Chain A
Amino acid sequence: MPPAVAALAPQAYLQAQSRWHPLEIAFWLSTLLPFFLFPNYLSLTSQIAITALFALSLDLILGYAGIVSLGHAAFFGIGAYSAGLISKFGWGEPLTGLVLASVAAGLVGFDVSFVISRFRHFTLIMITLGLGLLAFEAANRAHWLTGGSDGLQGISMWPVLGLFKFDLYGYVAYIYSLAALFVVFLGVRRLINSPFGLALRGIRENWIRMPAIGADSRAHIRKAYTIAATIAGLAGALLAQTTENVSLESISFQRSADVLVMLVLGGAGRLYGGLVGATIFMIARDQFSGIAPQYWYFWMGMLLVTVVMVLPNGILGGLSEFYARWRRK
C-alpha cells in the first residue's frame, strides 16, 4: 500500500466528522444578535427557536432515519397541552413543567412507535396523518379539559429559576427557548454522531440490508421515534409556557405540514436544516403576512416550489454543494 493515501487514520477520520465547524460556532453566536439588533422582535425570535426545536425533532426521524411523518404536531400539541394543564392545575414552575410535558409526549410517542416501526413510505404517511387527525379531534372534543377551539386559558407561569418573570418584550422567553434549543441540539448532535446515529442513517440508506447485518431496525426506530416525540413535546411545552396560551392550532395538521415544509426548505438530514428552515419560514411568514394577511400562503407556496426545484436538497444542501464545488477549484 502506498503511504499517505489515506490522509487520516480511520478513528481520527470518524472523530473529525463530529468536530465543531467554525460556521457552527458562528451560527450559535448569531442567535444572540436579536437582543441587540431586533429587541422589538424577541417574541418572534422566541417562536422561531421553538419552531426550530420542533423541526429538529422531525429531522431526527425523517432526515436521519427516513421515517416520514405527517402528524408530528400531535406530539407538539400533547407537550403544549400538558405544560398548559400542569400550570393551570397549580404548578407553574417552568422547568419541571417542561420536563413533565415532554415526558408525557415521549410516552405517547413510545406507544405509537410500535405501530410506526412496522411500516414504511406511503402507508406510514397515511398512518401518521390519521394519528395526527385523531389527536386534533381529541383535543377539539375534550373542551372541558383543553378549551377546544377557545384555546386553553388560565395558564400562569412562575418565574424561571424563581428569578426571571416572563416579560412583555420576550427577553426571558427568548433566552429560555434558546437555551432549551441549544441544550437539546447538543444532545441531538451527539446522538447523530454516535453509533446509533449511524444505524439510523443505515435504515434510511438501505432498509433491506439492515437485518442482513444483524440489525434490529424496528428497535432502532422505536427508540428514535420516542426521542423525537419527547423533543417535539418539549417544543410544544415551550410555546405553551412562553405564550401562556395553547390553541388548537398547536396540534393541527397545519403545524405538521408546516414543519415538514421547513425541513424541506432548510435541508433534511443535515442537523441545521430544520433550524435554518424554521428561521426562514417564520420570518417569511411574518413578512408575507405583512404584505397580504389573507394570502400569505400563496407566497409561501412560491418559495417552497422555487427552493425545491432549484435546490432539491434544501437550502443547506445547495450551499454545501456550492461550497464543495468552490473548494475543488
Chain B
Amino acid sequence: MSTPTPPAENAIASRTIALATRGLSKAFGSLPVARNIEINLPVGARYALIGPNGAGKTTLINLMTGMLAPNAGQIMLGGKDITELGPQERVRRGLARTFQINTLFAGLNALEAVTLAVAERRGLAGQFWRGLGSHGEAIDEAYEILRKLRLGESCYQVTRELPYGRQRLLEIALALATGPKVLLLDEPAAGVPQEESGEVFEAVASLSDDLTLLFIEHDMHVVFRFASHIIVLVGGAIFTQGSPAEIAADPGVREVYLGKRKHG
C-alpha cells in the first residue's frame, strides 16, 4: 500500500505543477511561522503535510489560500502568481480548502449550502429576480456532489443537526462545489473517531484523479495509506520530504515527529 498510485506518478512525470510556493515566509511578531517554504504540487498529486503541533501546517494553508498575507515569497497557481489575490479570487481560480474546525453554514441544510457554493461559482449568486428553484442545473450539480460523498440522503437536514462525521464530509462537499483544481484539506477527519476516519479518507481517495490534493493529517496509518508524497514541517520550515517509504525510514523524522508521538 505504500507505493504511490499510478496517476500521481504520471503527473509527476509530465512535470506539470498545479500549486507552488517560492520562498514563502511569515512571522507573527518575532515568531517565525513559515520559513522560506518551497513546495511543488504536481497535477493530480496526493500530498500529505505532517509535523508536530505548532509546526505551521494550518498557517501554510492560510498563506496559500490568502487568509494570511506572507511577509515574503510567492504562491503560484497553475504557473500564475496569485500572491496578491484575495481569498475569494483564489477560490474562483481553482484553489479551495476545507477547515480543521467545522466552518459550515449551521442554519442551512446541506443541499442549500452546496447549491450556494455552486451558484457562486456559476456567477448566479448575485441574481435576485429569479427563484432558486428555477436553477435546475446548479441544484442537480450540488446534489450530485452530495451524493458522491454519500450525503444524498441527509441533504435536507439542517447542517447543525447533521452527525459530526457528515459535517466533516460537508466541509469537503462545499470545497468541491467551487470546482477546484487544487484542494487543501486541513485535517479532514479531525475529531472523527478513528474507526470512522477511514470513511472520510475513502471519500477523499475517490475524488477525481485530476484533482490535486494536499492534506494535513496526524494519523500516520492514514498518511501512509493515502499519500503519494509526504512533506514534514517542523518549526515553520520544511524538515524533509519524500515518498512514504523514505519518510518512514528517515531516522530524523522518527525523532522529531514519529518518536514524539509514540512517547505521547
Contact = CB atoms under 8 A, between A and B. Distances in A.
Interface stretch (B2-10, B38-46, B116-124): B116-124
A13 B156 contact: yes
Contact of B105 (A5, A202, A211, A216): A202
A209 B174 contact: yes
Contacts of B174: 209, 212-213
A199 B91 contact: no
A111 interface: no
Interface of B: 65, 67, 86-88, 91-92, 96-97, 99, 103-108, 111-113, 115-117, 119-121, 124-136, 138-140, 142-143, 152-153, 155-156, 174-175, 177-178
B140 A196 contact: no
A22 interface: no
B139 A10 contact: yes
Interface string A1-20: 10001100011111111100
State which size class the interface on A falls in.
35 or more
Interface in A161-216: 190-191, 193-199, 201-202, 204-206, 208-216
B136 A11 contact: yes
A215 to B, nearest CB: 5
A223 interface: yes
Given A1-B152, A209-B174, A211-B88, 4 more contacts: A10-B140, A15-B131, A202-B105, A213-B91
Given A13-B156, A14-B139, A202-B105, A214 B120 contact: yes
A248 B190 CA distance: 57
A191 B128 contact: yes
Given A212-B87, A214-B117, A216-B88, A1 B153 contact: yes
Contacts of A223: 126, 128
A220 interface: yes
Contact of A195 (B105, B113, B116, B152): B116
Contacts of A213: 91, 116-117, 120-121, 174-175, 177-178
Binding site secondary structure of chain A: helix
A268 B136 CA distance: 29
7 contacts: A15-B134, A18-B131, A195-B115, A196-B125, A198-B132, A211-B67, A212-B96
A219 interface: yes
Contacts of A11: 133, 136, 139-140
A199 B119 contact: yes
A220 B105 contact: no
A208 B77 CA distance: 22
A194 B132 contact: yes
A198 B120 CA distance: 10
A202 B107 CA distance: 9
Nearest to A191: B128
Given A194-B129, A196-B126, A220-B125, A208 B103 contact: yes
B167 to A, nearest CB: 12
Contacts of B134: 15
Contact of B133 (A14, A191, A214): A14
Most chain B CB within 10 A, of A1, A12, A210, is at A210
Contacts of B104: 206, 209
A198 B132 CA distance: 8
Contacts of B99: 209, 212
Contact of A10 (B87, B103, B131, B155): B155
- Among B105, B112, B117, chain A packs the most CB atoms within 10 A around the CB of B105
A17 B108 CA distance: 13
